[in-house]
Amino acid sequence: MRDQRAAAESSQDGRAAAERFAEQLRALRSTAGNPSFRKMAGRSGRISHTTLHEAAAGTRFPSWETTREFVRACEADEALWRRRWEDAQRPGTVARPGGDDDDVPVVAASAPKEQGVSQAVEAPQAGDDVVGTRRRRLLWLNAAVVVLVVAVAVVLGGTVRGRSGSGGSGTPTASPTPSPSTTTYSDSLIPGDSSRFVADVTIPDGTQVKVNAQFDKVWALANVGEVEWHNRYLARMEPTADGDGCRTPDRVPIGDTPPGEQVMIRVRVTAPSVPGRCWVSWKMVDEAGREYFPTRRPVYLLVTVTA
């Protein structure tokens, strides 16, 4: 009977965590202008609109991959949201939805609710023996989660350190995105590599263009790292337009760029045949499609299409 009650309480805690985190995701989507889930899925190009909708509905706690694509589609800080995603799964922690403050630990069952935030712990209705039992269960759950996370991190850390590049050179091959079970972030695919957005050389954001018009979008990027850029591309993050969006190549080459220099990247764009807004984002990738800077925001074009 005790095991059944513990399992029921654990299930309730999981549902509460999913609902609280979903509230944060909904607040993020609201600050991004409430784009449709289909548009968000289009911006991601890696996840369905149904999965994004489930994450915001709170029917179950989303994976990091789902959360990451949700955050990318809203152009938010991935590193910040990775911490929120991890903290939201810790028993006894409530995150402030939509804000940048640190997460707030729940220190008492009678702590007042913040507006729009559900309490993680309900005040006990029974005697001291019930309170003690619940506290012991929470302590046990906390310890189990910590042990599991540490064990998985050790295993994955040993696996990453043991990899080497092609040809037996011994050069580590970094993953383009962080593992959901680790808290170590790599800002770049190659150590010492870095880029900086310089300017929209042509077609500033919000430029008005006619339907079916063709134009060249040009960005200026700077190589501010220690690695020479060679055989790199800008890859479109959204699927190729089907008539109601801008039509572009799926990827365009980036010229060889030594450290300390800038490069102009040009893409030919055809406006859609109907008025509206057109938004397309791009990220730097290698020949295999791996992102060089997975946690950085993409470069993008944004135009207003008129009749």
Is 252 inside any structural domain?
Answer: yes
Average pLDDT value for residue range 49-68: 88
Structural domains counted in the chain: 2
- Average pLDDT of the chain is 74
Q: Domain end: 123, 145, 170, which one?
A: 123
For residues 70-83, give the mean pLDDT. 91
Last residue of a domain, one of 66, 91, 123: 123
CATH of the domain at 34: 1.10.260.40
List 199's β-bridge partners, or say none. 220
Asked, for residue 153, whether it belongs to a domain, the answer is: no
Q: What is the pLDDT of residue 279?
A: 86
What's 258's domain CATH number?
Answer: 2.60.40.10
Contact indicator for 291, 240 with CB cutoff of 8 Å? no
If asked whether residues 205 and 109 sit together in one domain, one would say no
Q: What's the pLDDT at 94?
A: 47
The C-alpha atoms of residue 151 and residue 46 are separated, in whole angstroms, by 29
pLDDT of 200 = 94
**pLDDT tens sequence across 6-21:** 555 566 667 788 888 9
Mean of pLDDT values over 236-240 = 79
- Give the pLDDT score at 3: 59
> 12-16, 61-65, 73-77, 184-188 — which is least confidently predicted?
184-188
Quick one: 18 exposed, middle or buried, by C-beta within 10 A (0-12, 13-18, 19+)?
Answer: buried
Sign of the dihedral through C-alpha 96, 101, 102, 105: negative
pLDDT at 244: 66
Q: Is the pLDDT of residue 84 over 80?
A: yes
